[in-house]
Structure 1
């Protein structure tokens, strides 16, 4: 055992950790340090992070402002674990979230702490929708991803992930996302037809759940007009609208909520990942007050009260007291879009299609296995990227929102070199 503990390489994980591990296979090194958008491994090699903890590190690694707050809190013996008991850390987060996020946007939500992860938030949203409407069915979309627990998996489209459940996944129905059949097919009309046709075999659902930008599903972007029409469809048919903003929220697409520019107000909003600020486990479910019919303890969990996350989350909200971060994301998002457009144009043999919004973008390659290869070469050259999509066809760009222009361009240039190398092999 002592020999295993002394090994400064990946072998200890291969020997002792379950085969279920995945990210460490894509990035086969032992990371030791991180700051903002940079990672360093045990050999001292530096990497630019275009992954950001799958969207959990919007404010960068070891954000200094949050780190200072956390250290002060610990040194003063602040409450760490509290279930759902009242603490000063939770009170500060609730107050600041209401003042900085909800009130300026004219939003009226009750805040629920369902557990520490995104799938906890989704599970609570599905349970509440069914409880309120008295219906079993939830409608979700092709290429959707909502989590790995059974309720969330039931509304997730990916076949590989669904097969991991080991039991039938029921009480859900899938409909086509925006542009699923191409530009010429109006999928809102398709959904309306299914709902209104007494012989479609689909009952009126308790809720429709969607991502405005499908992250794991391939960076598929819903148009704002499409989102507005889905919201209208829900309202006219007494269906609750749930927006899963676990990955696309907290500024990832520019605005704090990814649905703001669409001008819609969902009945329920799921947040996790970067809501914890520092990469600490935390999730919240926002619910319209009239929907809050929970009985005390009807949905609970041991780690709803992660006070360290409350401390970091409250400090993270300081980024939203003005438009500085929003403008930064908008500007860098434009840089990424222009860069990817030129890349796709320069290497037509890659059959690249640019997708995304803000700092949640990617390029879908029409050549099988190419995105995986690009990301593998990128890692070798010091850039951390992951793939997305049903067939891992998208090379995904998702750096910390706090990345500076120099770091962003440096990472994009590494990506360009990788694409160039792969393009030559195709010729």
Structure 2
């Protein structure tokens, strides 16, 4: 469980952060230490303490920290003077990524998507998707869902549900209408009853939307899971009414729920898909916007960005796809490990009142009716050497996003810490 050599900590190791860095920082407050090295599923602090990572860069490190296969490819590329910054120029690294993505991801799933490099982050991918949907349809309105999270730039923020994040915009967030996510009414009301009614009612006041944007699993929203039948009904509704369907797979794609795309379980084919976080493989910034071939109506340079051509990320993305997606081994392991977490969380739910669980693959949530208990559990876990975050509108969910490559022993080690922390908090 030890990783790399370290140097001793010095007094006042966090002082410069409090002195100079903006008050907007958040994770550094939750985990008040200075990290120095990382390997696989572990981080090491400057003081020499090891932390098991059940956070994985908010889902950007599906293949772990400093994955040796990806690191080797990256180092070789850099040492050979490969292109680092290329805008959207043709490069060998980009060609190899596109060829690999088609061979290992698109073709096996029968997907005929065009690939756009919109910029380095998930919110860039969402912005491109929203702009394209409006351009294709000539409409302005977007339908989003309760408790959704799609990014922090204005367009993506307009389709995000969290009130605190929306308030930070400082301007009205318009041209988006929220609808209830699956099971928002706890099964009392059919979720699509209102949606379909207002779409078809000429007196509803709802402008016909350009698109619907949805996460199949709402990670930031509290690990809310959309049932496959709900997703199929949503896809049918969009198709029947000539509305584009955008699936935001920024956090749940690249195998997080088992299959490469989180929507595969429902058997649907979205019109547009957003990818980022782990698509870069090594934690390097990279985002893709995928869309059906007939939707490619962009003019040259109509949507661009200085850092959309991150060639080192192309290299690590290619290596990750070739190594982890040539067969279904990673998918099967992800589902197996996810089931192990679910069993532990089910046991805790049986042991303690006011505790429940939900999840899919290696995104799993432990839900606390007493909302502040989730934060207490994460705080105790951190003291014992485990990183886990909370999510949900009231931070009521302990959300687990361990690397997909985590070992069984590491998984058990972390689950034991969480179980003990939960027992202390719920006692």
- Same fold by TM-score, threshold 0.5 exceeded? yes
Which 4+ residue blocks in structure 1 deviate beyond 4 angstroms? 5-8
Give the match's secondary structure for 2:262: coil
Bigger mean CA deviation after superposition, 253-262 or 8-17: 8-17
Counterpart in the other structure of 1:330: 335
Contact 1:133 1:206 in 2 (8 A): yes
Given candidates 193, 199, 203, the residue that maps to 2:197 is: 193
Separation in structure 2 between the aligned mates of residue 253 and residue 368 of structure 1, nearest angstrom? 25
Separation in structure 1 between the aligned mates of residue 423 and residue 35 of structure 2, nearest angstrom? 28
1:241 maps to 2:245:
yes
Contact 1:109 1:289 in 2 (8 A): yes
Separation in structure 2 between the aligned mates of residue 316 and residue 10 of structure 1, nearest angstrom? 35
Contact 1:8 1:42 in 2 (8 A): no
1:312 maps to 2:319:
no
1:67 maps to 2:44:
no
Query: Displacement of 1:368 after TM fit?
Result: 2.8
Contact 1:252 1:360 in 2 (8 A): yes
User: If the length of structure 1 is used for normalisation, what is the TM-score?
Assistant: 0.97
Counterpart in the other structure of 2:97: 93
Counterpart in the other structure of 1:408: 411
Given candidates 157, 177, 180, the residue that maps to 2:161 is: 157
Separation in structure 2 between the aligned mates of residue 368 and residue 241 of structure 1, nearest angstrom? 33
Contact 1:140 1:155 in 2 (8 A): yes
1:145 maps to 2:149:
yes
Separation in structure 2 between the aligned mates of residue 16 and residue 186 of structure 1, nearest angstrom? 51
1:129 maps to 2:104:
no
Q: 1:172-217: per-residue Cα shift (whole Å, max 9, x none)?
A: 0000000000123211222111211222221110000000000000
Uncovered stretches (5+) of structure 2, i.e. residues with no partner: 1-8
Given candidates 213, 218, 221, the residue that maps to 2:222 is: 218
1:208 maps to 2:212:
yes
Given candidates 304, 307, 321, the residue that maps to 1:303 is: 307
Q: 1:85-140: per-residue Cα shift (whole Å, max 9, x none)?
A: 00000000000000000000000000000000000000000000000000000000
Q: 1:246-289: per-residue Cα shift (whole Å, max 9, x none)?
A: 00100000000000010000000000000000000000000101
Uncovered stretches (5+) of structure 1, i.e. residues with no partner: none
Separation in structure 1 between the aligned mates of residue 190 and residue 355 of structure 2, nearest angstrom? 24
Query: Displacement of 1:8 after TM fit?
Result: 6.3
Q: 1:1-45: per-residue Cα shift (whole Å, max 9, x none)?
A: xxxx97661111111100000010001000011111111101110
Given candidates 308, 328, 351, the residue that maps to 1:346 is: 351
Given candidates 333, 336, 358, the residue that maps to 1:355 is: 358
Separation in structure 1 between the aligned mates of residue 254 and residue 355 of structure 2, nearest angstrom? 28
Separation in structure 2 between the aligned mates of residue 353 and residue 337 of structure 1, nearest angstrom? 10
Given candidates 300, 303, 321, the residue that maps to 2:326 is: 321
Separation in structure 2 between the aligned mates of residue 396 and residue 9 of structure 1, nearest angstrom? 29
Separation in structure 2 between the aligned mates of residue 49 and residue 212 of structure 1, nearest angstrom? 24
Separation in structure 2 between the aligned mates of residue 83 and residue 25 of structure 1, nearest angstrom? 35
Query: Alignment length, in residue pairs?
Result: 418
